Amino acid sequence: MKHAREFGGRVHEMNEQLKELRVEGNAAGGLVTVSVNGLQELVSCKIDPGVFQNGDAELLEELIVNAVNDAIDESRAQQAETMRSLTENVDMGSLTGIIEKLTK
């Protein structure tokens, strides 16, 4: 039970760290730059004013999607690294047994 509480505390701490993490993604050399947190939530979007001058809405839409996907990819990589550090010293066999006892 003690291990489950410790692990739960570490998971909560990890989620707080991921919420504070900021990762940027961009498209077209920075014409569109977005920021997401470690939970893959979009935090900000900056668009170079020059993008509006040609009036091509489809281009802008594509740039936004590409920038968001770029940021999410990086955020997922950071999240995976955080998860690895969280679980590196955890005996998953013991944790599985604890979870089974708690769910019965």
pLDDT (0 to 100) of residue 46:
96
Tell me how many domains the chain contains.
Answer: 1
pLDDT (0 to 100) of residue 40:
92
What is the C-alpha separation between 62 and 82, in angstroms, rounded? 30
Q: What is the pLDDT of residues 25-60, one digit of tens each?
A: 999 999 999 999 999 999 999 999 988 888 888 999
Average pLDDT over the chain, rounded to an integer? 85
What is the C-alpha separation between 99 and 97, in angstroms, rounded? 5
Domain range for residue 34?
2-103
Q: Taking every pair of C-alpha atoms in the chain, what is the biggest distance, in angstroms?
A: 62
CATH code at position 29: 3.30.1310.10
pLDDT band at 95 (very low <50, low <70, confident <90, very high): low
